[in-house]
Every structure is written in C-alpha cells, then in structure tokens.
Amino acid sequence: MTLIKEHEDRVAIVQYAGEIARAARDVALPGDIGRLRRHFEAAMTRGSVERDDHGLHPVVRGLDTALTICHSVAPDRNMIVATLLSRIVGEEITIDMIRDEWGDDIASLVEGLTRVASLYGKGNIVFTDNFRNLLLTFARDLRVIIIMIVDRLALMTAINHHPDQEFVRGVAREAAMLYAPLAHRLGLYGIKSKLEDMALKYTLRDTYTMIARKLNATKVARDAYIADFIAPVKQRLEKEGLKFDIKGRTKSIASIYNKMKKQGTDLDRIYDLFAIRIILDTPQEREKTDCWTAYSIVTDMYQPNPSRMKDWISVPKSNGYESLHITVMGPAGRWVEVQIRTRRMDLVAERGLAAHWKYKGLKAENNLDAWMNNVRDILEAAKDGEQSDLMRELRMDVYDKEVFVFTPKGDLYRLPLGASLLDFAFAIHSRLGCICTGGKVNGKNERLSYRLRSGDTVEVMTSPQQTPKQDWLSIVVTSKARNKIRQTLNERAGRDVELGKELLSRRFKNRKIDVEEAVLMKVIKKLGFKTVTDFYSEIQAERLDPSTVIERYLELSAPQETAERVSAEEFTLQNQDDHEHSPGNDVLVIGDNVRGISYKLSKCCNPIYGDEVFGFVASDGAVKIHRADCPNALHLRQRYPYRVIAVKWSGKLGALLGVSLRIVGRDDIGIVTNITSIINKEKNVALRSIAIDSHDGLFQGQLTVGVPDNATLQSIIKKIKTVKGVKDVERSK
C-alpha cells in the first residue's frame, strides 16, 4: 500500500510539474524548474516530506495550489516558488538557505506562509473574526493571503471523495466562514463562488444535489431562453457600432441557496436565477458613455425593475468594483438580471486585484477599508503586467496597532499594541486580573509587565492572596484593566478607612474620651497626613499606633471649664506655708484667689475643688488639671513624667463644677422625686441633668450636679444614700 501511494504521489508530482512549467513559462527564470526538482527529490528521498494524517501529500498540495494560482489569479514567479518551497521548509531547508538561493522576497513569502500555518491546531478559533485578523497580521504580505485562499480552493477540490467526512465538513466550514469572505473582500469572486459551492456541497449535500439536479433538468430550456433573450440585444448593440462579448450564466448553487433561504421560497420562484453579462471593448475615456448606451438599448427592449437597478459605475464599490446591474422582464414574463461592464472592469471583478472589505454580515473596519482603498488606487493606476510587482510592495500592516494572543485552550483575544500580561488577565476576567501574579508565555515564566506579541500563548498564574497594587496602573494600557484596578483600590481604601475609624473610636472609648472632630483634624495635620483617608489607612495597617494619636489629641484638646488663660511661660508657681509639700518641689496653686495661672480642668475626669489633683503641661502652653484617680493618670505619669507637676487648691474656686453621679436602686414609686428633692434643698448645689433607666424592678440613674467643692459633693452623696431604695451612689470617673 505504501509503495502504491508513493507511486501515485510521484505520478501526480510529475504531472503537476509539467502543467506548471507550461502555465508559468512566461514568468519563470532559467534554472527554476531544475532547482525546485532537486529540492523536492532531496526532501522525498530523506523522507522528510510524507503524507499528513489525512492522507494528503504536502508537495502535491503545493503543486496543485501553484497551478491554481496560474489559472485563477495570474502567473507570478515568486508566488509560485514560495508556495512550493513552503511545503518542504524545515531543518534541512531553512528560511536563511532559501534567502541565500532565491532572494529576500521569496524567503519573506515562505516565512509568511510558515507563520500562518503555525496558527492552525488551535481548536475552533479559525471561525472567529479575531483569527482572521491574526491571519492578516501574521501574513504581512497581500500575496500570502492570496496563496492561502487559493490553497484552500485546491484543498477543497482534492477532498471531494475523502473518506473522513468529519474532516471534510471541518474544511468546508473553514472555507465558508473564513476563506470565502476573504476571497470576496480581495475581489477573487470566481474563487469565492467555487469555495461557497463546494462548502455547501460538503456540509448540505442533499440540498446541493437537489439544486444541481433541478438546474441540470432545466439546462436545455434555460440555454434556449438565454439565446432568445440575447439575439435581439446583440443585434441592436452591433447596430450602434459597439464591440462586445455577451454571454449568459446561471448563478452559483450557493448563491441560489442563499436567495432561497433569504426569501423563504423554492427554486422555481427565484426570479433572477440566471444573468446576462455584456462586456464592452472600449477605450477607458469612453467607458461610462458606452455602458450607459448599452443600458439604454436593453431597457428600451425590455421593461426594467427600477428597485433592482444598481449603479456601480458612477459610484464604484470600495474595492473598485464597477458595473451596471439591471433586472428586466424578459420573454414569457421572466425576470433576467443584466450586468454591463467593460473589459477592464470585468478583469478587476474576476481576478480580484482590488479588495472589498464590506462583506455582507460582517462588521466594517475603517482601517481595513482605508488600506484596501489604497490597494485599489495603486493597482488601478498600474499598467498591464505591473500588478504583480506592485503587490510585492503592499504589506499587511493594517493591524500593526493590535496584538492577538492565545489561551492554553486555544481561545484568541485581541488587545492593543503594548498590552501587558496583566492586561490579558483582565481581558479574560476582572477577577482573574485582580489575583494575577504572573504567567507563562509560550512555556516561559514572565512577569506581569511582559509586553505581549501576536501569536503568544499565555497561561495566567494566580494567588488568592494577591490584590491589585497602585503601581499596576503603570503596567496596564487597556481601559478595562485600569478601571478595575482603580475601582478595587478605591474600595479597599474605603474599607481601610472604616476599619481604621472603628479601631481608633474603640480606643478613645476605652479611655473614656469624647472625640471632637476639630481637634482630631489638628492631630491628623500635625502628624503629617495630607488626607484623612491616608491617616485611617495607616491605623488600619498598624503602621500608626492609636495610642500616639490619643496622646497628641490630649495635648491639643480644647479647654472646657477653665479659669483665665495665659501662656505656659507666664504661669506662676507659688509656695504656700499652709500647704504641706515636699521640700524643693514647686507646687502649682489653683483657686479663685489665684491670678496669672494658665490652666484648665480636664474633661476626662472633671476635677472639682477639694479633689486630689495633678497638673500636666500640654503642648499649647496650658496646664491641664487631672484628678489623681483619672483613667489617663497612670499613662501620663509613665509616658511623660517630666511634664507632670504638683497641684494644690487655694481658697475657694467660686464656680459650680459639673460632677456625674451613678445611682443604683429599686424602682420604687417616688424614689426619683426624693433624690431630686434632696439636691434642690442644698445650697450652692444645682441639678443639671438626670437620666433614669429601669429594668426588672431596678433602676440605674446618671445625674450631673454642679457643686463648688469635693466636701459638698461628699455631703450630697451621703444624703442620697439615705433615700429608701437607693443601693449605691458613686462618682463617675
């Protein structure tokens, strides 16, 4: 069996080689055939070129493609040689060797074909728009795309009776979804029609066969009808002195099927089943005039359908296609489509040297339109025979501002040029981007900042501990990644602020300090923070100790009930013989007969005359007076012993100072009235506020009274304790 296949391959190679030599004799250089023959014989002798998994021989496919190029496009030496050499390039025949022997242009074409071939085997990505775009990016040369399209036509022809129907259907879908649209956009209309017909045949064989049989059954009658339609038109055109060819043709089977599907009807109701084409031989300066003359002749003889008239002569298509299309009522009341164009217009339409990038059903892309319009302008301005040379100068740089990247599963993503690995992670999913730590690019470990290149296969590495960082914004270029990073950073900052606030608030409450926002803002500023968000974030991150904040707050807190204030440098320390104190220690004496002393009574413990107190020199110059049993006393004495001073009362303070009392007792009728009655009967004592909460027969009250001194306070406490039902009375700290 192997020997039979090898014999078949050699016979096919010899046959194709002879046909190519004849078809390309006008463009081939002396020695081309001999050099190519030596390359193929050497490759086949080494066994480096064998049939693929589907039983197709690469050299035979290359020869078939090269011959199709000659017949369907135009004989071009470099395209033919590159097509053949691309089938045997490898370790024995490298791109550099081809460049040395055949030149840069052929080597560049072979390299483009090799790069494009490497894109296959990626799953179903060939059916996506992104794959088409990547194909154009990898090709880099218009001729590479043309070779790929022609190769697909040759492959479709070769697999007509292939036993692997799944493989055949896959090739057919690929041709219909990728290569036929590309052929249409490049103006290769003949190839496009053949690809679509064969794709329909391989995927919907019963439908294809039904249409083909009906067309064959009516062929004789259809040919006779076309002849009857053409005869009088031909006579009138000749009478006008026009030189022309006129012929009728049936529309392609795929085109008929699409019309049946679109119109929801059967074959017998398709009114433009066949078309007449009039091709005029006329100088370029008379093209429009002669086309409209032919138009007038046809519409004078047959009734036109105005809604079906298409004028692509006055305004050509974006690919340079020019033609007049009219639909007229022919003999026996049948609609006939008539196309009128010149020989030059027909050559562009059939051979496709310009491109049409607005194919039905696919989105237009302005950059491609502009590039292809440029192709049209260049090729139409060229003289006959110069088009092949001009195509060498046209490079597929329409996607030079984008990159196309694969996932390990073969999914394809399009990203802007300069996109990083981190951009790719966010393109897949925002969550994946947020926990991305790096990745593997073509099997090699790379950082987040790696700049992607078209064709890269990227595997994203993640960690649940990873979170977006501020410096990520300098790595990414896509708006999706940038917006998600900013959103995550802002959300995290908001959570940090709330946690920091809660932490600091608890610490203040533990110290029984009521926070004043104005003072806290001063603390934040003095600590060097530009924003409140940064301040609370530092607390949440445990980089700023709340104790430090509280200390600064206590230093800067505003006075509540104080005597006359002066600067710290002016306060007077007085020794009094009637007060006991240790020799050598200065004592700050406070009271109503003391002047020139800058001090204030601390809110945290509310000292009153007669309490055992001490002073603390604050940073604003005032001395803050604390009770000896103040909740903050121990901390202040341990942390700042050098700022603690002895304090004693002198005379009477004179003012009533607020003191809070906590009372617990039974919830008896009239107990609150009895307590307030005792307070109101006392001289120099005022009840400022009272709050009572009762539960399960017990009550707990919080009273604030104004008293002049500690002795009066103690007297009030004793009297309240005598009230029936009161269990305990104590001064709140």
Judged against a pLDDT cut of 50, whether residue 343 lies above it is answered with yes
Task: Specify the pairing of strand 244-250 against strand 324-329.
Answer: unpaired
| Higher per-residue confidence, 250 vs 4 | 250
265 and 343 share one domain: yes
Chain position carrying tokens 């096919």: 12
Report the alpha-carbon distance of residue 102 to residue 107 in Å, rounded: 7
128 and 264 share one domain: no
pLDDT single digits (tens) 130-185 = 566 666 655 567 788 888 889 999 999 999 888 899 889 988 988 888 888 878 76
**CATH of residue 720:** 3.30.70.260
β-sheet bridge partners, residue 692: 701
Q: What is the pLDDT of residue 366?
A: 42
pLDDT (mean) for 544-550: 85
Q: Is the dihedral of CA 151, 153, 157, 159 positive or negative?
A: positive
Task: Specify the pairing of strand 335-342 against strand 274-280.
Answer: parallel
Whether residue 370 is contained in a domain is answered as no
Judged against a pLDDT cut of 90, whether residue 93 lies above it is answered with no
Whether residue 158 is contained in a domain is answered as yes
Range of lowest pLDDT (106-120, 239-253, 557-571, 698-712) = 557-571
Q: Is the dihedral of CA 701, 704, 706, 709 positive or negative?
A: positive
pLDDT (mean) for 420-432: 92
* Final residue of a structural domain among 624, 649, 674: 649
56 and 149 share one domain: yes
Q: Which residues 6+ apart lie within 8 Å of 302 measured at CB?
A: 328, 329, 330, 336
45 and 193 share one domain: yes
187 and 69 share one domain: yes
59 class by beta-carbon count within 10 Å (0-12 exposed, 13-18 middle, 19+ buried): buried
Q: What is the pLDDT of residue 178?
A: 81
* Final residue of a structural domain among 151, 171, 203: 203
Q: Which residues 6+ apart lie within 8 Å of 78 measured at CB?
A: 105, 106, 109, 143, 392
Contact 200, 253 (CB under 8 A): yes
Number of structural domains (the chain) is: 6
pLDDT (mean) for 283-309: 92
Whether residue 173 is contained in a domain is answered as yes
* Final residue of a structural domain among 601, 628, 649: 649
**CATH of residue 453:** 3.10.20.30
Q: What is the pLDDT of residue 280?
A: 94
Q: What is the pLDDT of residue 505?
A: 86
pLDDT single digits (tens) 357-366 = 322 233 334 4
Contact 568, 617 (CB under 8 A): yes
141 and 191 share one domain: yes
- Alpha helix locations (H) across 511-576? 517-526, 532-540, 546-556
68 and 185 share one domain: yes
Whether residue 397 is contained in a domain is answered as no
Look at residues 511, 516, 538, 522 and name the one whose alpha carbon lies nearest to residue 619. Answer: 522
Task: Specify the pairing of strand 436-441 against strand 458-462.
Answer: antiparallel
Report the alpha-carbon distance of residue 63 to residue 697 in Å, rounded: 107
36 and 169 share one domain: yes
Look at residues 56, 78, 12, 252 and name the one whose alpha carbon lies nearest to residue 155. Answer: 56
End-to-end Cα distance, the chain: 106
323 and 240 share one domain: yes
**CATH of residue 23:** 1.10.3210.10
pTM flag (> 0.75): no
Whether residue 34 is contained in a domain is answered as yes
Contact 603, 662 (CB under 8 A): no
Whether residue 476 is contained in a domain is answered as no
**Average pLDDT score, the chain:** 78
**At 251, is the secondary structure helix, strand, or coil?**
coil
Judged against a pLDDT cut of 80, whether residue 129 lies above it is answered with no
pLDDT single digits (tens) 458-493 = 999 999 989 999 899 999 999 999 999 999 988 888
pLDDT single digits (tens) 43-74 = 777 776 778 888 888 888 888 999 988 888 77
Question: Which two three-digit tokens encode residue 183?
Answer: 């052929």
Q: Which residues 6+ apart lie within 8 Å of 364 measured at CB?
A: 357, 358
pLDDT single digits (tens) 628-682 = 888 888 888 888 887 888 888 775 555 677 788 888 888 777 778 888 888 887 8
277 and 413 share one domain: no
**CATH of residue 277:** 3.30.460.10
Domain around 456: 402-468
Contact 559, 606 (CB under 8 A): no
156 and 54 share one domain: yes
Judged against a pLDDT cut of 50, whether residue 387 lies above it is answered with no
Range of lowest pLDDT (90-104, 150-164, 417-431, 676-690) = 676-690
Chain position carrying tokens 């090898």: 6
Q: What is the pLDDT of residue 132?
A: 61
Report the alpha-carbon distance of residue 598 to residue 600 in Å, rounded: 7
Whether residue 373 is contained in a domain is answered as no
225 and 175 share one domain: no
Judged against a pLDDT cut of 80, whether residue 354 lies above it is answered with no
Confidence of residue 272 (pLDDT cuts 50, 70, 90): low
Q: Which residues 6+ apart lie within 8 Å of 90 measured at CB?
A: 48
**At 128, is the secondary structure helix, strand, or coil?**
coil
Whether residue 293 is contained in a domain is answered as yes
Q: What is the pLDDT of residue 242?
A: 92
Confidence of residue 16 (pLDDT cuts 50, 70, 90): confident
Confidence of residue 578 (pLDDT cuts 50, 70, 90): very low
